[in-house]
Amino acid sequence: MKDGYLDFANSALGAKLVNALGLPKPLPLERHRAGAPVINGPVLVGGGGEPQLFDALAAVFRSIGAQTLAHERAVQWIPRANAAGLTTGRWSGEKVKALVFDATGLTDSTQSDELYHFFHDAARSVLTCGRVIVLGRPPEQCRSPRQATIQRALEGLTRSLGKELRKGINAQLVYVAEGAEDQIESTLRFLLSPRSAYVSGQVIRIGRPVGTTAAPADWAKPLAGKKVLVTGASRGIGAAIAEVMARDGAEVICLDVPQAQAGLEEVARKLNGKALALDIGAEDAPQRLVAAAQADGGWDVIVHNAGITRDKTIANMKDHLWQMVVNVNLSTQERINDALVASGALKPGGRIVCVSSISGIAGNMGQTNYAVSKAGVIGMVQSSAPLLAERGITINAVAPGFIETQMTAAIPFAIREAGRRMNSMSQGGQPVDVAETIAWFASPASSALTGNVVRVCGQSLLGA
Ligand SMILES: NC(=O)c1ccc[n+]([C@@H]2O[C@H](COP(=O)([O-])OP(=O)(O)OC[C@H]3O[C@@H](n4cnc5c(N)ncnc54)[C@H](O)[C@@H]3O)[C@@H](O)[C@H]2O)c1
């Protein structure tokens, strides 16, 4: 659905009015275009203490061809940055597209002023739709309470920067486990690029790889040769996921209910994919999916996108509406995962990506059934990750906020407007924003990402 306010706020007259009244001012967000570089501007690099990711960062910046500048004050690590080939010049206050701070070397809260100096100096220099990335060590793996304390403190910094910088700029914290330094490329490519347009204020954990990490021969087609099942693919977010997977080189199996067959076949035809009309809530759905996958030589990626809402306050909710939502949104996914994994129909090294919701994090009036199902998806992801890791399979979830689809177009006007504006981007996301996040998890280069739940919500105030 079109966001008329966004267009108005960016018109000559609208901009004046919006400024005068102090209303939210959403900017059109930059989104990925085929053939465009990962980042279209210089990156300002900083570090605190004894930064531990310089070599890994230098390799990524070389791989994406980014221009990198060193923060003036950081004289103590500039020789090391130069030795690693990390920075190509000193920053003299020019505008930059991204700020990247390696905070892995911070071991005590008294060092927090290193964060202050870098972000204080650079905050006004970030271009529209710029990026802020802070890299740290997972607090739960730190050697001392003091180190864990300052590492945990990074979360307050990045979440606040996401709220403060505005202008379509997002900010994320990436915890990199020891031994996973060489696993950061797929995540940095995603976060630095416009693919992460509507992701902000997130904490991402990169661990030791599950199975083998394969840097794609062509980063524009990371899913070449892969077979991807997308459920609920006939429209909305599911259709966008199928499209992005096909763009990234995958053969896509598009699934939806038989009633949606016409739309489903159209999506599949456009993408040279296959259409599979199946109600995933049906008792025999897992077995039918195993048979379809085996006939296909196995699948590499499963995207559990299909979902429904049946909203009523708990006192007014009929029990079949509760059952239906929990079954389609959660229990079927558990059954399907179990069947596909046990049969080997999801290949070793496979990926499972689930679609949760910020309702599953924050709860929502009239959505007890939906919130149970979507919080359950998070539970499923986090509890299955270590078990699936033994088979080289990763499992992650995205939790969308307000995304412009038929589902949200049906929301009453006032609630819809609140949903659109109550986030750091002051607008709803597009289905492609969810799809790009799923594509990052699905990549063969993302084997060090498992058990993550990343919100695609423009840093919504709900559940923040
Ligand atoms: N739109 C949003 O703002 C938003 C926010 C948070 C989460 N989500 C989640 O994103 C996913 C997609 O949402 P959307 O907005 O595109 O919704 P949508 O209603 O437009 O699409 C959902 C699709 O799932 C299919 N589906 C439903 N039940 C099915 C079943 N039993 N078997 C097979 N297919 C089935 C539907 O036919 C439909 O094509 C859902 O899981 C939803 O809960 C959406």
Q: Could you tell me which residues come within 8 angstroms of residue 272 by beta carbon, excluding any fewer than 6 positions away?
A: 246, 251
pLDDT at 464 over 80: no
Give the ligand 1 atom nearest the CA of 259: 37
**Best probe residue, ligand 1, of 374, 407, 408 (max atoms within 8 Å of C-beta):** 407
User: Is residue 15 very low, low, confident or very high in pLDDT (cuts 50, 70, 90)?
Assistant: confident
Question: Could you report the per-residue pLDDT of 212-253, keeping only the tens digit for each?
Answer: 877 899 999 999 999 999 999 999 999 999 999 999 999 999
Give the ligand 1 atom nearest the CA of 403: 3
Q: Which of 75-84, 162-171, 378-387 has the lowest mean pLDDT?
A: 75-84
- How is 66-88 classified by DSSP, letter by letter? --EEE-TT-TTTHHHHHHHT--S
What pLDDT does 97 receive?
98
What pLDDT does 253 receive?
98
Give the ligand 1 atom nearest the CA of 358: 6
Give the ligand 1 atom nearest the CA of 238: 16
Q: How far is CA 24 from CA 85, 156, 166, 212, 459, in A?
A: 42, 23, 10, 45, 15
| Spatial separation of the C-alpha atoms in residues 138 and 173, rounded to whole Å | 10
The protein residue with its alpha carbon nearest to ligand 1, atom 43, reads 307
The protein residue with its alpha carbon nearest to ligand 1, atom 42, reads 307
User: Is residue 42 very low, low, confident or very high in pLDDT (cuts 50, 70, 90)?
Assistant: very high
The domain 227-456 belongs to what CATH superfamily? NAD(P)-binding Rossmann-like Domain (3.40.50.720)
CA of 305 to the centre of ligand 1 (A): 6
Q: How far is CA 337 from CA 241, 287, 301, 304, in A?
A: 19, 11, 11, 10
Mean pLDDT of 134-162: 98
User: Which residues are tagged catalytic?
Assistant: 370
User: Is residue 74 very low, low, confident or very high in pLDDT (cuts 50, 70, 90)?
Assistant: low
- At residue 254, the 3 state secondary structure works out as strand
Question: Could you report the per-residue pLDDT of 177-216, keeping only the tens digit for each?
Answer: 999 999 999 999 999 999 999 999 999 999 999 988 778 9
**Best probe residue, ligand 1, of 229, 256, 356 (max atoms within 8 Å of C-beta):** 256
Share of the chain above pLDDT 70, in %: 99
Is the model more confident about 290 or about 462? 290
**275: phi > 0 → left, psi -120 to 50 → alpha, else beta; which?**
beta
**Best probe residue, ligand 1, of 199, 254, 289, 308 (max atoms within 8 Å of C-beta):** 308
pLDDT at 427 over 80: yes
Give the ligand 1 atom nearest the CA of 370: 43
The protein residue with its alpha carbon nearest to ligand 1, atom 44, reads 400
Mean pLDDT of 434-452: 98
User: Is residue 325 very low, low, confident or very high in pLDDT (cuts 50, 70, 90)?
Assistant: very high
CA of 407 to the centre of ligand 1 (A): 7
**93: phi > 0 → left, psi -120 to 50 → alpha, else beta; which?**
left
Question: Could you report the per-residue pLDDT of 268-280, keeping only the tens digit for each?
Answer: 999 999 999 999 9
Question: Could you report the per-residue pLDDT of 256-308, keeping only the tens digit for each?
Answer: 999 999 999 999 999 999 999 999 999 999 999 999 999 999 999 999 999 99
Listed in order, the ranges of the chain carrying CATH 3.40.50.720 are 31-206, 227-456
Q: Which fold has domain 31-206?
A: Rossmann fold (3.40.50)
The protein residue with its alpha carbon nearest to ligand 1, atom 15, reads 407
The protein residue with its alpha carbon nearest to ligand 1, atom 7, reads 357
What pLDDT does 77 receive?
75
pLDDT at 39 over 70: yes
CA of 143 to the centre of ligand 1 (A): 43
Q: Which of 6-10, 204-208, 353-357 has the lowest mean pLDDT?
A: 6-10
Q: Could you tell me which residues come within 8 angstroms of residue 312 by beta carbon, excluding any fewer than 6 positions away?
A: 318, 321, 366
The protein residue with its alpha carbon nearest to ligand 1, atom 38, reads 232
- In the structure, which protein residues have their CB atom closer than 6 angstroms to any atom of ligand 1? 231-232, 234-238, 256-257, 260, 279-281, 305-308, 328, 355, 357, 400, 402-403, 405-408
User: Is residue 75 very low, low, confident or very high in pLDDT (cuts 50, 70, 90)?
Assistant: low
What pLDDT does 257 receive?
98
Spatial CA neighbour of 430 closest among 256, 250, 239, 268: 239
Question: What is the value of pTM for the model shown?
Answer: 0.96
